[in-house]
Amino acid sequence: MIALIQRVTEARVDIDGRLFCSIGRGILALIGVERGDTEAQAERLVERVLGYRIFPDAEGKMNLSLLDIKGELLAVPQFTLVADTKKGTRPGFSSAAAPDDGKRLFDFFVAKAVQNVKVKSGQFGADMKVSLVNDGPVTFWLQTSAHP
């Protein structure tokens, strides 16, 4: 599984021209599910996203996690993260999980995260408009994989 995480001061998802959900200070996590991913990878990704130290401490160093600051998480499913872009001019999606598996593991990710922080999530399969104020900017790619 893949998470592209961004430290934000605010983020929101609109669907059909209406606000679907929003958060204040925290992390926007775009989540991609690869074929062969399991609940173990999802659980590990939750641990990494919530525990990744990307927020400044009193000295301005990135030393605090989302858990430490009691921030919010906006999880958005994004299958394009798993695209193969190594050649050509069109992405390939053969490594993406089947939609049913992707939804199941995205929902599992959200269910695990909500046990520890305030979570909002986008809608799997919807045409979403995602807006954010990236704080820094600070953006990281996190990946857990059963594949070597």
Task: Give catalytic status of residue 106 as yes or no.
Answer: no
Strand partners, 128: 15
Helix (H) or strand (E) holding 139: strand 128-143
Q: Is 15 helix (H, G, I), strand (E, B) or coil?
A: strand
Task: Give catalytic status of residue 78 as yes or no.
Answer: yes
Q: Annotated catalytic residue: which of 9, 80, 85, 123? A: 80
Q: Annotated catalytic residue: which of 6, 41, 78, 144? A: 78
Task: Give catalytic status of residue 115 as yes or no.
Answer: no
Name 23's Cβ contacts closer than 8 Å, sequence gap at least 6. Answer: 8, 10, 11, 12, 72, 73, 74, 118, 120
Query: Interior CA angle at 34 toward 43 and 114, to 5°?
Result: 30
Please count the CA atoms within 13 angstroms of the CA of 108 that sit on its side-chain side: 19
Q: Annotated catalytic residue: which of 6, 41, 79, 108? A: 79
Q: Which positions are catalytic? A: 78-80
